[in-house]
Structure 1
Amino acid sequence: MLYKFARFVVLIILYPLYRIKVIGKENIPNKGPVLICSNHISNFDPPVVGITSPRDIYFMAKGELFEKKFLGGLLTRIHAFPVKRGLADRNALRNGLKILEEGNTLGLFPEGTRSKTGEIGEPLAGAGFFALRSEAEVIPCAIIGPYKKFKPLTVIYGKPINMEKYRSKKTSAKEMADAIMQEIKNLKENYQNQ
């Protein structure tokens, strides 16, 4: 309930503030597990992906945010769960897989941290792990900024990545993450070259 309310409030603030334009929303399946992987250019990226996706999304958030009882409780109620950054957090990996196994949508930023230049960076292996270890449809997403008041911000959702070819040839998690990141780069470049 809180998720829907928070989503509505954020939507009515951010859509006009950043003149958000969404392309490819129809590429997100209506049901079944979905992994949305986006580039990361701002702290506003999670709410922007959250309000532009037709489905409720679960996000990882840095563990420190959950140390304060009130904030941790609030984040949990709006579908966030903690991850310890900088190390392989097995709890976070288990939580993410459980979300997908239950047929929900998991949102990830494969770079693990914001890009200070706006350029797409190197991904961590986590996105590849979830893509290969689940049955999720993997949707690349490109956010094209910058985040400036009343300047257009574009969110592009690509077609699902054909996971069969990766799952059948024993691709490593890092190679898979690289392939996902390449799809995100392609979306960004194709849009900017139009």
Structure 2
Amino acid sequence: MARLLCRVHDQPLALVPHQGPLILAANHVNFLDAPIIVTHLQPRAVTALVKEETWDSPLMSYLFNIWEGIPIRRGEADLQAFQKALQALQEGKILGVSPEGTRSGTGVLGKGHPGVVLLALRSGAPILPLVYYGGERFHQNIRRLRRTDFFIKVGNPFTLRPVPSPISREVRQRMVDEIMYQMAALLPPAYRGVYADLEAATQDYLVFAPGVQSNLPPPPLR
């Protein structure tokens, strides 16, 4: 069904590791994101943190029960969802997380929230930035009986540098901002939103494996 409605440019998904726990840090545009990404990552086991209200829809409830989605109560510390997410990673699954916490509708990045930081530090799982764009035109295209181009970009993975506990709010926000800049670098400039200025990005808390490059462009020659 996804391929009937969209032209999914999924070649970059070949870069997703074939095994092992993985946190997919992804942007969130609209209802197309999860069905397309989850189905195109098969046969890997994929789950995601999904807002609790999603289960109010019979269709979405059916789909996310099949995918073993993890309902999360937004705006509060949902320890049950946190523990289920850690368990999924311990089982070697891919865990999808949207640091923005909500749909943008436009594809333009909003401010990231630091929940993904605690998951990454507690689990030790690598973070893989994955972004998509084009899906924001779906409603406009479907009214004109046109298929929508759904572009996917996959970056290089990294882990977060361990820091002493307790972690201050400022440090957690700086960590998630560094993750968001890695995502922004994969997007065309018009979609980078509050992370448009890549020269302002830091990487103090990101650890790339030897030989693996940052997703940020190299600094300009002066």
C-alpha change, 1:186 and 1:113, in structure 2 (3 Å) is: same
What is the aligned-residue RMSD (CA, Å)? 2.6
* Aligned AA (1:178): D
Contact 1:143 1:154 in 2 (8 A): yes
Structure 1 equivalent of residue 173 of structure 2: 174
Q: Which has the higher helix share?
A: 1
- CA distance, structure 2, for counterparts of residue 59 and residue 31 of structure 1: 17
Superposition deviation, residue 61 in structure 1: 2.0
Structure 1 equivalent of residue 26 of structure 2: 38
- How many equivalent pairs are there? 177
Structure 2 equivalent of residue 61 of structure 1: 50
Q: Which has the larger radius of gyration?
A: 2
Q: Work out the percentage of aligned pairs sharing the same amino acid.
A: 28
* Aligned AA (2:185): N
Contact 1:37 1:109 in 2 (8 A): yes
- Of the three residues 93, 98, 102, the one matched with 2:91 is 102
- Of the three residues 98, 108, 129, the one matched with 2:118 is 129
Q: Unaligned 5+ residue runs, structure 2?
A: 192-222
Please list the CA deviations of residues 56-113 of structure 1 after superposition, one character each: whole Å capped at 9, or x if unmatched.
2101222234468997576333211211011111111111111111111101111010
Contact 1:27 1:160 in 2 (8 A): no
Higher relative contact order (CA 8 A, sep 6+): 1
- CA distance, structure 1, for counterparts of residue 110 and residue 27 of structure 2: 8
Superposition deviation, residue 20 in structure 1: 0.6
- CA distance, structure 2, for counterparts of residue 126 and residue 134 of structure 1: 13
Q: Unaligned 5+ residue runs, structure 1?
A: 1-12
Contact 2:21 2:89 in 1 (8 A): yes
Contact 1:132 1:173 in 2 (8 A): no
- Of the three residues 155, 160, 165, the one matched with 2:157 is 160
Q: TM-score, normalised by structure 2?
A: 0.70
